[in-house]
Structure 1
Amino acid sequence: MLVSRADELDRAVIEQLARGTCRVELSPALIAELSANRQAVLADLDGDQPVYGVNTGMGAMAGVRLDADAQARHQDTLMAGRAVGSAPWLRRDEARALLAARLRTFLHPAAGVSAELCRSLIDLLDHDVIPAVPARGSGAAGEIIPLAHTGAVLLGTGQVLDAAGHAPDAAPALEAAGLSPRSFGPKEGVAFLEGVPGLTGLAVLHAAAVRTLLTQQIAVAAAAHAVVRASPDPLHPALADSDELGTVLATLLELRGTGPARALQAPVSFRVTAPALAVALRAVAALEAAAERALTAVTDSPAHLDGRFVGTAGFAGTDLAATAGALTTALAHLADLGTARLHRMLDPAVTGLPRQLSDSPGLHAGMAAVHKRAVGVTHRLRRFTLPALGGAMETSLGQEDVQSFGFEAAECLGEAVTGLRDVLACELLGVHQAFLLDAREAPFGEVAAALPPGTGDRPFGRDLDRIIGLLAEGSLTLHVITA
């Protein structure tokens, strides 16, 4: 893909770069713009005015002026003392997302970096030389620690993440790829450490995963409604208070199929499913909007604006951390509901099917232990719903006295995605078992093809692993369930 304008490197392209399904090249015109902007930055640096992180120290050392010799080394040495992280590392696709988001933010004129630095990031992506980026322990007001690890790879002093998850030295990996280490030019080192490209890239990946997961959740919830023959009353279109809820109501009503309700009112977990899904849809849209803002915003500090170097809050991930936290809570609530729906499906008074969805109650446990697994996963998710924004602690001798803890927010969201998928697999297995016991065609052909035949007890954990794999791949076809 030839990128002629910065806005062409949008969320969709960031996701593709993260997954290694596309390559980008900067157009000659865009390279010329970057070069012209870089020359303006260098011209404005040519003087005696203090510029944070360029001819001064950083953080509590901002008052220390650097001589010419120190300035020549400073942009590289910024990486060394800040690369203090270690395993666990971001996954390779997550680290690729960081590189892609960093490239996008460097296309903003305020960053003032060279076209050569942008090309170096593209080279890492093209040759799949992926930095080993610590996933935890980033207690700075921004992402200085993980970004220092990323920048150290360009210098040849960092570590890369291989296919086995090991983190060997970067220099041999660069050499094997035909790449050479490069130094950071004036102000490029401090620019590299600013902003929240890691959290931005993670938000892009998590939002895409959530979109798929919510589509699957709607389909499975509709099938669960069909199992208990829940009244369609709570799905009436007049109850829609938003576009999101209207879409969920219409989809659930269509997919659940026709047929008489078994009871006047279904359990509450069924009746409130649609509003909870609408909340999650609004939350993921808010995270996507925050990611868009982060990709297009001024992330550098100091930023080059109107010929001056201006201190900013571009390093703060407050917007992304807050929206990621809200989405985490919404997903955890969906896990609560899925676990409750599965429990109701074990009750013959609700379904008219054998107790615990067992083909031989008393001899076989049926889905009872599957539900217990869902309970354990759902309980675990509760610890991740505490907002990451809370808990500020002073660092840098008080120069940094607030943090957004963006990587922690992303980690919590990732756990919520994984946990909800696990709970969804449990509910889906329960739905599959219910349809077989009711002598009805299994609602999801991909699941039926992946599982052993029959309804007798077996090591259901293997079934759940297969279903989780299908969900992660996005392999779940939605169709109308016949009565």
Structure 2
Amino acid sequence: MYRISIAQLYKDIDTSLKFLRENSATVASSRKRVETAMADGSTYYGINTGFGALANQRISNEDLKQLQRNLILSHAVGTGELIPKEICRLMLQLKVHALGIGNSGISPDTFKQLLLFLEKDLIPAVPEKGSLGASGDLAPLAHMSLPLLGYGEFWNDEGTGTLPASRVLQEHNLEPIDLQAKDGLSLINGTQMMSAYGAYILEKSLRLQKMADLIGAMSLEALQGSITPFDKRIHELRPHTGQKIVAENVRNLLEDSEILESHRHCGKVQDPYCLRCIPQVHGASRNAIDHAISTVETEINSVTDNPLVLENGDILSGGNFHGQPLALVLDYSKIALAELASISERRTYLLLEGHDGLPKLLMEKTGINSGFMIPQYTSAALVSENKVLAHPSSVDSIPTSLGQEDHVSMGSISALHLYKILENVEQVLAIELFTAAQALDFRKPLRPGKGVETAHAYIRSAIPHATEDHFFKDEITVAADIVSGGDLLTEIENQSISLR
């Protein structure tokens, strides 16, 4: 089986599509096993029975197509804002990949239509709320499936609005399809909404954790912090992988620093934790994110619908749709990302206090000017909001389906909160970046380490030094774009500075 990684979801979709096209025979074989089973007169959950609390109700053969159609229509009851188009695309890609493994028994016509949607970039619009994270992401996946029937909406090309699915199908000479027995259940049982959010956010987190190390190194230089806590020997004595990588990143960024040399023998014994413990805090978040990535990559290469169709013809009902593995690591990731913002805000605060020759609030003329006082307020507000959002969603469960589905993961709520935390962390790091660049200006003519100097020059090409109060919001927005983008990290790596 072709396995996909989080990185491949973005960089290698053509290979994934090639696998799915070539795997159509496996999908067809799985379907034949369903049809053979249906002919034996036995009862199979969701194929010729009702769903959930109605599992004991047998459905006649002539009503099987209507059963699957009704399943999609009845479950498409999501609410809230629309899931961003890029994440909806991942949902579709992950659903098609899971069906393509060949243990779902979906009919070839339904599978081919979904594959066409992906190939033509016809991305269904999906509301963000309504999933309990078991039996999978029912409501979101039902909305994703509506366009197969000619209902629902697709995103427009720009991702700024939606178009009626019926109109888009007509424009592409596609007809709505009739779902066959088992199709609807294969489509909506699964964890693709949670998985898509996890894959999207964790892929961004790989870049964000490097940015956190870089920005922390900038603050360390601006505050004339000590390099001693980053000594390799310290971290060999507590060899957590993430901790060692962060310390190495900071050492590489501060190589050839004149600022470090200028205060190497100043007599200061220790820096505050937000500087001294960057490897330990950032490193712990890295380890958590690595664990989450491993879990999500297992999930996106799994079959998570129900019942499952095995090669020997057995059709087994189980619980692979339960989102608990994802719910736990998404909650864990919320805490890991929130901590990157928490320690960042403390460094921003420290930059404003007037340490070691820096002007208070990082402006020469204060009183008439508030300087960089208020951006730190915004950081504090976002960090506080993250504390609420980081509360684990997975510790809650509300029984549904008349008690048949009596324990659910609430992983979809974890996913939505993680997405908001990601946005907040990017803003908090942007404020530290914007503030540290201002502080570094006051260290001239001394030069910081090569990596920090490259970053500082990059920022100054987009955001000028501030001598008086003005509309800071625009500049924080620019800084946030730098944090969320990859160009600055590329610029540093082009200087032969290794960042892991």
Contact 1:432 1:443 in 2 (8 A): no
1:448 aligns with 2:441: no
Q: What residue number does 1:469 align with?
A: 481
Q: What residue number does 2:252 align with?
A: 254
1:127 aligns with 2:120: yes
Q: What residue number does 1:31 align with?
A: 24
**1:188-212: per-residue Cα shift (whole Å, max 9, x none)?**
1111111101111211111111011
Task: From the superposition, tell whether residues 209 and 123 of structure 1 become closer, same or farther in structure 2 (CA, over 3 Å).
Answer: same
Task: From the superposition, tell whether residues 28 and 86 of structure 1 become closer, same or farther in structure 2 (CA, over 3 Å).
Answer: closer
Contact 2:20 2:100 in 1 (8 A): no
Aligned-pair CA distance for 1:425: 0.6
Q: What residue number does 1:233 align with?
A: 228
Contact 1:219 1:255 in 2 (8 A): yes
Amino acid at match of 1:461: K
Structure 1 alignment gaps of length 5 or more? 1-5
Contact 2:399 2:406 in 1 (8 A): yes
Distance 2:410 2:231 in 1: 42
1:424 aligns with 2:416: no
**Following superposition of structure 1 onto structure 2, how do residues 354-373 of structure 1 map, counting pairs within 5 Å?**
354-373=359-378
Question: Which deviates more from structure 2 when the two are superposed, residues 206-215 or residues 438-447?
Answer: 438-447
Contact 1:204 1:291 in 2 (8 A): yes
Distance 1:16 1:335 in 2: 28
**Following superposition of structure 1 onto structure 2, how do residues 39-438 of structure 1 map, counting pairs within 5 Å?**
39-139=32-132, 141=134, 142-162=136-156, 163=158, 165-240=160-235, 241-257=239-255, 258=257, 259=260, 260-261=263-264, 263-305=268-310, 306-348=312-354, 350-438=355-443
**1:373-408: per-residue Cα shift (whole Å, max 9, x none)?**
111111111111111112211111101111112221
**1:37-76: per-residue Cα shift (whole Å, max 9, x none)?**
3222221222221111111000111111111221131112
Contact 1:82 1:144 in 2 (8 A): yes
- Give the paired residue count: 473
For the residue of structure 1 that corresponds to 2:293, the secondary structure is helix
**1:324-367: per-residue Cα shift (whole Å, max 9, x none)?**
1111101111111101011111122x332111111313232221
Distance 2:379 2:465 in 1: 23
Distance 2:356 2:437 in 1: 14
Aligned-pair CA distance for 1:454: 4.3
**1:109-152: per-residue Cα shift (whole Å, max 9, x none)?**
32122343332222112222211111112236221111111111
**1:256-301: per-residue Cα shift (whole Å, max 9, x none)?**
3442345221111111221111111111111111112112223121
TM-score normalised per structure 1? 0.93
Task: From the superposition, tell whether residues 23 and 322 of structure 1 become closer, same or farther in structure 2 (CA, over 3 Å).
Answer: closer
Amino acid at match of 2:242: E
For the residue of structure 1 that corresponds to 2:117, the secondary structure is helix
Question: Which deviates more from structure 2 when the two are superposed, residues 357-366 or residues 95-104?
Answer: 357-366
Contact 1:159 1:168 in 2 (8 A): yes
Residue 471 of structure 2, aligned match among 447, 459, 463: 459
Distance 1:467 1:117 in 2: 45
TM-score normalised per structure 2? 0.90
Question: Which deviates more from structure 2 when the two are superposed, residues 402-411 or residues 131-140?
Answer: 131-140
Contact 2:430 2:476 in 1 (8 A): yes
Task: From the superposition, tell whether residues 56 and 278 of structure 1 become closer, same or farther in structure 2 (CA, over 3 Å).
Answer: same
Contact 1:436 1:455 in 2 (8 A): no
Task: From the superposition, tell whether residues 395 and 326 of structure 1 become closer, same or farther in structure 2 (CA, over 3 Å).
Answer: same
Amino acid at match of 2:128: A
Contact 1:134 1:146 in 2 (8 A): yes
Amino acid at match of 1:166: G
Amino acid at match of 1:328: K
Question: Which deviates more from structure 2 when the two are superposed, residues 401-410 or residues 161-170?
Answer: 161-170
Contact 1:377 1:423 in 2 (8 A): yes
Distance 2:409 2:243 in 1: 31
Task: From the superposition, tell whether residues 455 and 114 of structure 1 become closer, same or farther in structure 2 (CA, over 3 Å).
Answer: farther
For the residue of structure 2 that corresponds to 1:88, the secondary structure is strand
Aligned-pair CA distance for 1:164: 5.5
Distance 2:297 2:368 in 1: 55
Contact 1:446 1:475 in 2 (8 A): no
Task: From the superposition, tell whether residues 347 and 453 of structure 1 become closer, same or farther in structure 2 (CA, over 3 Å).
Answer: closer
For the residue of structure 1 that corresponds to 2:461, the secondary structure is helix
Aligned-pair CA distance for 1:23: 7.5
Q: What residue number does 2:450 align with?
A: none
For the residue of structure 1 that corresponds to 2:432, the secondary structure is helix
Distance 1:87 1:140 in 2: 16
Structure 2 alignment gaps of length 5 or more? 448-452
TM-align CA RMSD: 2.1
Question: Which deviates more from structure 2 when the two are superposed, residues 297-306 or residues 318-327?
Answer: 297-306
Distance 1:122 1:70 in 2: 27
Distance 1:307 1:10 in 2: 30
Contact 2:75 2:138 in 1 (8 A): yes
